[in-house]
Each structure stands twice: as structure tokens, then as C-alpha cells.
Structure 1
Amino acid sequence: MKKIISIVFFLIFVTYSVSFADSLNLSCKSAILIDANTGQVLYEKNPHLKLHPASTTKIMTGILAIEHGNMNDIVTVDEETVYLTEGSHIALEPEEQLPLEDLLHALLIESANDSAFAIAKYISGSTDEFAKLMNNKAKELGALNTNFVNPNGLTNENHLTTAYDLSLMAKYAMENETFREIVSNYTYTIPVTNKKDEERYLKSSNKLLYSNETINVDGEIVPIKYDGITGIKTGYTQAAQNCLVASAKRGNQNLIAVVLKVNGKEIYSDMHKLLNYGFDNFDTIDIAVKNEFVDNLEIKNGEIPIIAGIVKKDLPISIPKDSINKVTEKVMLDDELKAPIENGQTLGKIKYYLEDQLVGEVDIVSTLDVDTISSPTIFEKILNKWYLLLIGFFIIVRAIVVIKQKKKRKHRRKIYRVPSSYR
């Protein structure tokens, strides 16, 4: 009966969320909105549909360049990079030399396909090997339906991903300070090189960052530029149509949204609707605070029998507005807490639920080192026995002495009884 009631509550919550979100009337083929801190899904439309990602692919290329490269390294462009490049580019030339940092800005701001090739070859030696690195990283991040075959997103029937998978990649990438700083800018200047005697001025196609062009959002005409936008990447090919991955922050709310396969400016209208939905209907709260006391926990075979368990880190979660009182928690400890225990060791978890839906979890950790009670050696056991016998002997002797002293005092004591008339 209890399980049935829980399912009913869960269905009510899901039905509410879906029915409300359905009113967004998005034009895109696929979309998702997540909390950038926790990865919670706040809205979805065909999130696992495999589609061409176009240049949103470069999110993965960019983060791999940062993790596997050195920003100050000088990359030499080869002939194949130049001659195989199609679409957007920064006119790289054979034997041209640029710092990786400049190529990375060209990749993420100008969306340069020749820069993507140059980075891939610098990191892995070939685009094929780099694609393997991309796919391994995608799986590591939890991607379910992604297969990359190139570093730039040019159309290939086997180069596919999903809105859900892209949201995971974007969340991970935006946790990197270098990546985050680059995609928050919409201009950049590449200095002269050994092959170019003029500077190259780059400008992002992510109009959410800067454009005063207008769009229609639910009947209201507003600028494309979005309040609180922090990045990250656009994409377009004929097969993919317009694609956009965006992040935005207001107060303590941090959102990531993905929109795939839509025509024209509707890409920005859909993105506004998604982000508005997140900011208007959800609150971000710290459901758990780092070092918050949880409970005193019994430790078996420990020199210290009880230690305090505390919350490992802050845990912000997104929940529908005015629903904080509906959040419940479940403390789950390891089966047997037994010494030795290290300071900071995980002892269990706290899971937080909203209407029976898991919305976040955090580790419970130890505040102390606890050593195991050491077993006495044979010699110590013998000493302990003799010690007990000796203590017992002294107790007996002392008792005999006390008894004798009492008897002596009794014999010496004289009792005087005074008649009542003298009292």
C-alpha cells in the first residue's frame, strides 16, 4: 500500500512537470534543461534522440585540448589540415605556427574547422585517434548514444549524439575554468604569425552573448541577448540545422540547456523559453551544508567507540518553487562501521527525495582517525593476570588489617551512659 501511494505521488509530480513544460511549445526536434550544479533534468523533449550535433561537437574537442595540451605549446599546421577543411575556418596555412591557446579560441569562438583539425593532430597525431579519445571521454561522462568521427562536427552519417549526452559534456566542460572563460567571450584577436602579417579578429556566432536583434518569445518581442548567459556553443549544418548549447547563471541558479535541429531564429526563441522556464519555476537551495553534523556513529572495535558523522560538501539542488517542505531525506550508513577509520572516510550517504523522486545525495564522512583496539600479547596477558592477583592479594590483606583495627578500637572504646536526669 505504501509503495502504491509513493508511485501515485511520483506520477502526480511528473505529470505536473510534463504538463507545465509542454506549454513551452518548442520548435526544435530535441531539447533538455538541466541544473548545471547537480545534473538534475528539469525539462526534456526527445532527449535521447540521435541527431547530428554540428559544431556543438567542439565542446568535446575543446575540453580535450585543455586537458591533454599545454596552452603555451606552439602547434605547427600541416598541409592536410588546410586542404581537408570545409566550412568555417580562420585561413590557416601550411607550416603556420600558433600557440594552442589561440587555436582553442578560434575553435570555441569563431568555430573554426581548420583549428579543430590542427588541435586533433596536435593531441593525438590523427583525427581518427582523436575521435577515439572523444568517444572514450563521452562514455566516461555517462553519454549513452554518442559516436564522434571527427573533431569539428561536419556531417557524417555516423557522427551523432543527443541532447542528453551534450548536456553532460557541457556540464563537465563548464566546470573547467579555462573553458568557461573562453566561451563567455564573443571576441578574440589572434596576433600575427610566421605566415600572417595581420591580426585575425574572431567573433562568436552565439548571439545570446551580445545581440540586440529581436525574437518572439511567447508573443513578446525581446532581444536575443539573454540576461545571465555564460556561454557556450552554437552549431549549424544542413543536416543538423541550427543547434545550440547554452549556460546561464542568475543568483545561485546555474542552468544548462540544449536545443537541437531547428530553423533560423527559432533556435534562440526555444532557448529563451527553456531558460525562462528554469529560472521562473525552480529554486536552487543548499539542501546540505559542508561540515553539517549528521549523527554520532558507533564504531566497532575502535579505540574511540563513537565518532561524529558530518556532511562532506555543500549540496545545492533545484526544486519547484515553494516545495522545500516536501523534501525528505534518508540516511544510509555502511553495513558495518568498523575500525580502522580515517578522517574524511565515507561512512554512508544522505539521499534527498521530492515526492519520492531522488533529487540529490551527499556523502557522510568521519571527523576523526580511529584505530583498532590492539589485542594484548601473551606477555601482556600474563602480566595482567599477575597484576589482578596482586591487586586481589592487597585487597584481602587490607581487609584483614582493617578488621583487626576495628576490633582493637572496639576493645579500647569505653561507653558511658549518662542518666536522663543529668542530660
Structure 2
Amino acid sequence: MKKFIVFFMLLFLVFNFEKYVFADEPDISAEAAILIDADTGKILFEKNIHEKMFPASTTKMLTAIIAIEKGNLDQKVTVDKETPYEIAGSHIALEPDEIVTMKDLIYATLIESANDAAAVIGKQISGSTEEFAKLMNSKAKEIGTKNSNFVNANGLHDDNHFTTAYDLAMIAKYAMKNDFFKSIVSSYTYTIEPTNKKSVSRPLKSSNKLIYGTEKINVNGSNVAIKYDGANGIKTGYTPEAQSCLVSSAERNGQKLISVVLKTNGNNVFIDTHKLLNYGFDSFSSVKLAFKNEFIDNINVENGDKEIVTGIVGNDLFSLVPKGRESEIKRKIVLPEKISAPISKGQVIGKIELELDGKVIETGNIVSAMEVNQKGALEVVSINSKDSIFKKWWVWLIILLLGWRISVEVKRRRIRKNRRQSYLYIK
């Protein structure tokens, strides 16, 4: 009987092996998706992350961050005569010659996803949609995108307007470091006050139900609220070609995640996002792997006024690590056997690598904890150093006396030369 029970248990485990090993792997309906650590950019989950996709209104993240960085929030912008009649889809009914602030346009772009507001931003900053698109592509490359091309400010469909899940994650990671951007996307309502063309206020509301929704969705067999605990942004998107898209951000206990879901239908965009964020928070923990100023080693110094220099960690090192595997992380210290003077305090002299499963998961600099001058040389490497010779009052006195003596000698020689020339002329 006991043998039969053991056999049955083994059989059960064999047929359910995949379920137990991959239970935490999210099953994503979207065509492309990614989950990253918002602090480091480390990829925690990926599905077709470099596949070209249409971004729809997630484009507006880039438009908004450019507007915040290059525009003046209090600037009064006059709506051009063409935009109100050129724009399809979501809008705030801007009128020709209407005057609105840049701040209101940015809120309308991110919260209401207003295509007209985004277009006006682009024209205001660059003079035309085409020139603003050039600025968008330049900024995207600066941020670290790899396979994107933007042709408009709002994401309305164009076959040449495309990006990837990875690139949108990089844009979101960059944008969420801006406090003003973050404050907007974490809100879901805003009001534009009456303008010269509108006698009533315009209330705006976000379509990102992750930060306010009350309806229920089915996530892995459980009915849960569509609002996600810890969600603080960022941007939805939809066109018939792109289908439903969502770039999201969430934070719990200091752990920050960004997810991107592209090309799915209806509430699946929120269901997939729940799955990704749950996977990140349930499967990984933020671990401090090294401490700033942590002692690493002493390195021999050649031709220095000190025999050794102390190497320390330059900055705190954090990384998201699979839960339960924190103790498996290995350190690799890369330092030279000796180093030549001069060495300045804070100078990078090596690096520290943290490895898991033979792969480097985080790196950091090892820096000098002290200043080392060349042996026998005057300490003039850094005039601002507290031990610099130029901090001594008597050094400056000597310099002044030498300068005065040289000046006097030059003057005497000039006088003698003039006297000789005068004597020869008279003679």
C-alpha cells in the first residue's frame, strides 16, 4: 500500500512538474510585453520585446517629457488654425486661436490622451509636426531606444510610426524620473479652466483604470479589482491597428516596476498588466548587494608618498533578485595588483561584479579612499586639496617675493640696455 501511494505521488509530480516549475511565469495574451526594474532597467520578463509594433497613444509619453524639459509650463500657447480640423480620435475640442497654457496641454495629453493637445505641443516647440518628430527621434535615441521611429506627436496611425516594447519601457523609465511627469500620470483627473474660447471648465479623466477602476477582472482564475495596489501611472493607447496598449508603473515597499503590454483586446490589457506586476513583486526582491564606502582591499602603489591605496565601493549597489536565492549571489572583484601614483580621492581603480548562475546581474565601481601623490613631488596635483602646498601662507609669500625680485631685475636690465644705446649714439 505504501509503495502504491509513493508511486502515485511521483506520478502526480511528474505530470505537474511544468506547473510547479513555471507557476510564476505569466501567461500573456498580448503580442509583445516586457517587465523591467524601474531603477536599473533589468529585464524580468520578455515577450517579443524588440518586435516592431504600433504604439498608439503611448507615444504621448515622449511628447510630454519633451514638452516638460523644453517648454515653459506657464507659457500661454495660441492654438493654430489647422490642428482642430486635422485631428481625429480623442481630443479636448481645442479651437483656432484658443489660448491655453503649456501645462494644461501636457495634462490633456497625458490624462485625456488628447490628440489635438499633443499636436499643438509639437508645433509650439518645433514649429511643425515634422520638425517635432525629428526631435522625438533624437530624444528617443538619447534615452536608449533601439528600434523606433516617430512621425507625429500623438500616435495616430502611420505605417512609419512604430516602436517596441523594450523602447517604450526605456522611455517610461526615463520619464518617471521626472517628478512633474510622475505627478501627472499618477493622477486620473484634471480640470482646464475656461479660456478665451470656452466659457466653461473642461474636466479630464484618464482611461488608465489601474489607478482608479472599481470593476472586476479575472486574473489567473480569481476575480480581482482592476485597480492595482501600488500603481502610479502611466499611459494607455488604442488604434484599430495597434489595438489596446498599456505602459504601467507600480511601486511597493521601495520596489519599482514598469510593464509594457502591446496589441491585445479590451480588458486583457489590464489582465496582462496585473499578471506581469504580480510576477515582479511575488518573484523578486530588491537586495542591497554592496554598501557605499564598503572596504574592498588595499592595493600597492608605485612611486607614491603612500605605499598602499585603499579601495572602497563607490555607491550602494541594489538589484532585483529571485526570492530565496539571495545567498547564491557571488562577488567578483576586479583590481590591479599595483597602481602608479598620482591617485586622486574618488578615482575609479577597479570594479565589483555580482553574479548569479554565472551571469553578471550588477556592477559597480571601486574607488580610491584617499589621495596619493608622487614620491618626492610637491603636492600640487589638486590645488583645492586641503593638504595642497598652495594652502600654506608662506608659499604665497615666497611666490610674491620672487615675482617682485624678477620684476625689479627686468627693470634694471632694461635701464642698463637703454644707457648703452644712448652712449653709443652720442659717441
- TM class by shorter chain equals 0.7 to 0.9
Query: Judging changes above 3 Å, is the alpha-carbon distance between structure 1 residues 77 and 333 closer, same or farther for their aligned structure 2 residues?
Result: farther
Structure index of larger Rg? 1
Q: Hey, what does 1:58 align to over in structure 2? A: 60
Rounded to whole Å, the distance in 2 between the matches of 1:130 and 1:226 is 34
Equivalent residues of 1:21, 1:43 under 8 A apart: no
* Cα RMSD after superposing both structures: 2.1
Q: Distance in 1 between matches of 2:337 and 2:244?
A: 51
**Residue 151 (structure 1) aligns with:** 153
Cross-structure match for 2:203: 201
- The separation in 2 between residues aligned to 1:183 and 1:247, in whole angstroms, is 9
TM-superposed deviation, 1:117: 1.0
Contact 1:213/1:223 (CA < 8 Å) preserved in 2?
yes
**Superposed CA offset, 1:178-209 (max 9, x none):** 11111110011112222222111111000000
Q: Is the CA contact (8 Å cut-off) linking 2:299 and 2:338 kept in structure 1?
A: no
Task: Report the Cα distance in structure 2 between the residues aligned to 1:81 and 1:298, rounded to whole angstroms.
Answer: 68
Post-superposition Cα deviations, 1:139-163, rounded to whole Å, max 9, x if no partner, equal 2222111111111111000111111
| 1:163 and 1:260 in contact (8 A); partners too | yes
User: Are the equivalent residues in 1 in contact too, given 2:24–2:279 (CA < 8 A)?
Assistant: no
Q: Partners in 2 of 1:335 and 1:88 — Cα distance?
A: 63
Going from structure 1 to structure 2, the CA distance change for 1:49 and 1:22 (only over 3 Å counts) comes to: farther
Q: Is the CA contact 2:238–2:244 (under 8 Å) kept in the aligned structure 1? A: yes
Partner of 1:235: 237
Q: Could you say if the C-alpha distance between residues 307 and 75 of structure 1 is closer, same or farther in structure 2, counting changes exceeding 3 Å?
A: farther
Question: How big is the shift at 1:225?
Answer: 0.1
2:39 matched to 1:37? yes
Over 3 Å counting, the alpha-carbon distance change for 1:56 and 1:21 in structure 2 is farther
| SS of 2:256 mapped into structure 1 | strand
Letter matched to residue 33 of structure 1: L
User: Do 1:77 and 1:92's aligned partners in 2 also have CA atoms closer than 8 Å?
Assistant: yes
Q: Which runs of 5+ in 2 are unaligned?
A: 1-17, 379-427
Change beyond 3 A, Cα 1:362–1:355:
same
TM superposition shift of 1:277: 0.7
Q: Is the CA contact 1:333–1:348 (under 8 Å) kept in the aligned structure 2?
A: yes
Matched positions, count: 361
Deviation, structure 1 residue 344: 2.4
Q: Deviations over 1:315-366 (max 9, x none)?
A: 2211111101111121223697433333322222211111012211112222
SS at match of 2:28: coil
Per the alignment, do residues 322 and 79 of structure 1 end up closer, same or farther by CA in structure 2, a change over 3 Å counting? Answer: same
Structure 1 residues 333 and 130, CA gap change in structure 2 (3 angstroms):
farther
Task: Give the match's secondary structure for 1:79.
Answer: coil
CA distance in 2, matches of 1:135, 1:236: 21
Could you say which residue in structure 1 is the equivalent of 2:168? 166
Q: CA deviation at 1:93?
A: 1.5
Determine the C-alpha separation between the residues in 2 that align with 1:210 and 1:234: 14
Q: Which amino acid aligns with 1:155?
A: H
Residue 110, structure 1, aligned to residue 115, structure 2: no
TM-score of the pair, normalised by structure 2:
0.80
Aligned to 2:281: 279
